[in-house]
Structure 1
Amino acid sequence: MPRYSLVAIILHWAIAALLAFQISVGWALEDLGARGFALYQWHKSVGITILVLTLLRIVVRYWKPRPAKLEGGWQGALASGVHFGLYAFMLGAPLSGWALVSTAKVKVPTLLFGVLPLPHLPLPAGAHELAEGGHGLIAWLGIALFLLHVAGALRHHFLIRDGLIWRMVPGRSTALLIILPALMLLGLVVGKAILPAPAPKAAAAVEAPEPQENIAQPANVVEAAPDIAAANVTEAAPEAPPAPPPAWTVQPGGKIGFSVGNDGQTISGSFAKWTAAIVMDPDHPETADIKVTIDMASASVGDAYQDGMLPGDEFFAVAAHPTATFTAKGAEKSSANAYRATGTLSLKGVAKPQTIRFTLSGDGATRKVSGTATIARAAFGVGNGESSGGLAPQVALTFAFTAKRKD
């Protein structure tokens, strides 16, 4: 029986194993967030490798034509359609992925296997949504075609018994007949094995800390901002010293967000982990004593590629500077229920003066706090690399949370 050339056989099984790896990895990437950044780089590298091997396979197909078809009718037409679809998949998936990366808001550099830079395609940013949707659709169609191709090969070998599969096995070797298809299983297993371990589940609720002097310990999210709302202070006896300002506990459910312009668009994100120690009498804002600590590794803009870049030296340098802090002693009232506090922001090993503005609403023992700040990122060395060229110099910070007075 006529057989495919050795080059075609090698390319066929190599592409099959790499496709199995891509399917195994791609299935899980969406749920990994920033933890999947390194795996995304592998996914891109393997995708471009499949593109190159497929182009080579097409050249070989015309250089050394394939053996004649063994089956006609609708079954033969279906087999031809599946083959054509597989070639379209093997070309379309990596090309749409390349377009997706090239049109992202932040241009994430791609180093193929950590060595060879992959240039971005000259496509408009408006094509990003089309590339993203197309890549996902092509992937699902490719999986269906992949399974149909395997099912067809099994049908010919075990049901029709026409020996068709031997055309893709060198020397009609029984050992290779087992080893070569096993490469696809190996690709699936390796893809699954290199996935990052699941992230620990966050507690559903954070238990309020025991009252401590001058400390308010928040249970979740967000910002470096001062805040406090004091309840009505009972008048002390004329000779008694003034009562100390109350401490406040930030309640779960708040948010610290940030946004920055990027070539006419806006990138928005937030910090998921922070703590705050807040003391302040709203009627006497000069009593404010504020310290907010942000876990910089918790920053996210909702895109795994970009989230994977944030901890790096170009942005937050989390390995050397895992936290950022804002501290302020005293605040001033700027208008009814509105305040301004000037303190020090320490970020990425640099300490600079920073002003935040916030408002308080409500009364009694619970106050709602919302505020803003504008941070000059270059002063802290944030966004100092090639992929940050389009970022605006100012980062807008917003925060909103509820604070409860300690008894």
Structure 2
Amino acid sequence: MQRYSRIAIFLHWAIAALLAFQIAVGWALEDLGARGFMLFQMHKSIGMTILALTLARVAVRYWKPRPAPVEGGWQGALAKAVHAGLYLFMLGAPLTGWALVSTAKVKVPTLIFGLIPLPHLPLPMSANDPASAAHGLLAWVGIALFVLHVAGALRHHFLIRDGLLWRMIPGRSSVLLVALPASIALAFVLGRVILPAPAPKAAAAPTAPVAVEEEAPANVVEAVDNGAAPVEAENAVAIAEPVGPPPAWAVQPGGTIGFSVGNGGETISGGFSRWTAKIVMDPDHPDSADIRVEIDLASASVGDSYKDGMLAGDEFFDVAAHPGAVFTAKGAEKTGANSYRAAGTLTLKGVSKPQSIRFTLSGTGKARKVSGSATIARAPFGLGNGESGSGLDPKVAVNFGFSAKAE
């Protein structure tokens, strides 16, 4: 029986193994957050490799003679349709992925295997949603076609026994007959094995409140309605006991610290899932305030694992070298019936700068609700000062909301 050319055989099995790996990894990328950044880069690199190999396979298809079809009728037509669909998948999945990366709100540079820069396609940002939908759909279509293709090959080999499978084996070797299909299964297993272990669940809320605003990140930032209740002036009641040490406050579960930044007419919003705060303050005597907020920068997320990986990189938070941000303030001043301003220091990426936050209190006695905001300039801290942040606004809005109880 006539075989495919050796180069066609190599391309067939190489592409099949890479596709199996992509499928195994792709299923998990959405849930990995920042931990999946390197896998995203690998996913893109392998996707572009599949695109290049598929183009080579198309060229070989017309350069080297192919074996004649062994089956006609509807079975032969189905086989041709599956082959055509597989080519569409092998070309369309990488191209839609490329379009998805090129139209993302935050442009993440792509280096193929860390070496070759991949330019972004000149597409409008409105193409992002269609590209995302097409990429996801093609993945499922590809899996279905993959299964049909394998089923067809097994049917010919074990039921019809016409030796069709030997056409894609370089030599009549039983070892290769087992090893080459096994390489596809191994590639899938490898894709699952290299996935990061599940991240431990973070506590629902930090341990003490602080805010971040025009000059420092802390737990007490303007309420951005992330679950924080609105603050009403008439509800703010000062804690009694003007004499004696100021009370310490413990942040209750459910608190939030969020951030947002403009990007070419759109807004990118996210937040931090892990942070702690220590607050000492008598609302009647705000000068007694002693605030310290610590934020785990690795917990930053904008709801997209691809962009989350970029946040953890050198151009933004540089988590590997600077895992946390700290805001501290000694003393605060009253600016309204139950509103305050605290001027302190924000330390981020090894840089310390003056930072102020504004916050309001509502509630009475030993139970209070806090909401606040801050505005942080990116440039002094080196946040997004590379190519990835070229379209971002120069200032980031920070907001927070939480409940606290006096200890």
Whether the TM-score (by the shorter chain) exceeds 0.5 is yes
Partner of 2:233: none
Distance 1:220 1:26, change over 3 A: farther
Q: Is residue 145 of structure 1 aligned with residue 145 of structure 2?
A: yes
Which residue identity is paired with 2:314?
D
Distance 1:15 1:30, change over 3 A: same
Partner of 1:127: 127
Please give the residue correspondences for 1:295-314 in structure 2 after superposition, counting only pairs within 5 Å: 295-314=296-315
Q: Deviations over 1:74-114 (max 9, x none)?
A: 11111111000000000000000000011001111111111
Deviation at 1:220, TM superposition (A): 12
Partner of 1:238: none
Q: Residues of 1 paired with 2:115 and 2:317: CA distance? A: 24
Which residue identity is paired with 1:43?
H
Partner of 2:239: 232
Q: Is the 2:220–2:400 Cα contact (8 Å) retained in structure 1? A: no
Q: Deviations over 1:267-322 (max 9, x none)?
A: 11101111111111111211111111111111111111211122222111222222
Secondary structure of 1:93's counterpart equals: helix
Quick check: 125-134 or 304-313, which moved more?
Answer: 304-313
Deviation at 1:230, TM superposition (A): 7.2
What's the % identity of the aligned pairs? 72
Q: Residues of 1 paired with 2:364 and 2:177: CA distance? A: 77
Q: Residues of 2 paired with 1:65 and 1:221: CA distance? A: 70
Q: Is residue 63 of structure 1 aligned with residue 70 of structure 2?
A: no
Q: Deviations over 1:233-274 (max 9, x none)?
A: 147xxxxxx221111111110100000111111111101111
Secondary structure of 2:150's counterpart equals: helix
TM-score, normalized by length of structure 1? 0.92
Q: Is the 1:230–1:281 Cα contact (8 Å) retained in structure 2? A: no
Which residue identity is paired with 1:194?
I
Q: Residues of 2 paired with 1:330 and 1:365: CA distance? A: 20
Query: RCO greater where, 1 or 2, for CA within 8 Å and sep 6 or more?
Result: 2
Deviation at 1:232, TM superposition (A): 3.3
Q: Is the 1:221–1:271 Cα contact (8 Å) retained in structure 2? A: no
Deviation at 1:129, TM superposition (A): 0.7
Deviation at 1:231, TM superposition (A): 5.0
Secondary structure of 2:166's counterpart equals: helix
Partner of 1:191: 191
Q: Is the 1:294–1:323 Cα contact (8 Å) retained in structure 2? A: yes
Q: Residues of 2 paired with 1:150 and 1:93: CA distance? A: 20
Which residue identity is paired with 1:294?
I
Q: Is residue 217 of structure 1 aligned with residue 224 of structure 2?
A: no
Point out where structure 1 has 5 or more consecutive residues left out of the alignment.
Answer: 207-215, 236-241
TM-score, normalized by length of structure 2? 0.92
Deviation at 1:217, TM superposition (A): 3.0
Q: Is the 2:218–2:327 Cα contact (8 Å) retained in structure 1? A: yes
Partner of 1:154: 154
Distance 1:221 1:76, change over 3 A: farther
Deviation at 1:202, TM superposition (A): 3.6
Q: Deviations over 1:142-166 (max 9, x none)?
A: 0000010000000000001111111
Secondary structure of 1:200's counterpart equals: coil
Which residue identity is paired with 1:83?
H
Q: Residues of 2 paired with 1:311 and 1:16: CA distance? A: 32
Aligned residues: 389
Q: Residues of 1 paired with 2:211 and 2:139: CA distance? A: 35
Q: Residues of 1 paired with 2:219 and 2:31: CA distance? A: 31
Partner of 1:268: 269
Deviation at 1:183, TM superposition (A): 1.4
Q: Residues of 1 paired with 2:26 and 2:348: CA distance? A: 35
Partner of 1:33: 33
Q: Deviations over 1:198-254 (max 9, x none)?
A: 212345x67xxxxxxxxx933999960459x8753147xxxxxx2211111111101
Which runs of 4 or more aligned residues in structure 1 lie more than 4 Å from their structure 2 counterparts after TM superposition?
A: 219-223
Q: Residues of 1 paired with 2:300 and 2:211: CA distance? A: 10
Q: Residues of 2 paired with 1:359 and 1:53: CA distance? A: 60
Partner of 2:112: 112
Distance 1:295 1:66, change over 3 A: same
Which residue identity is paired with 1:233?
A
Point out where structure 2 has 5 or more consecutive residues left out of the alignment.
Answer: 222-235
Distance 1:92 1:221, change over 3 A: farther
Distance 1:232 1:27, change over 3 A: closer
Partner of 2:335: 334
Please give the residue correspondences for 1:246-325 in structure 2 after superposition, counting only pairs within 5 Å: 246-325=247-326
Which residue identity is paired with 1:278?
I
Secondary structure of 1:170's counterpart equals: coil
Secondary structure of 1:78's counterpart equals: helix
Q: Is the 1:230–1:283 Cα contact (8 Å) retained in structure 2? A: no
Which residue identity is paired with 2:32?
L
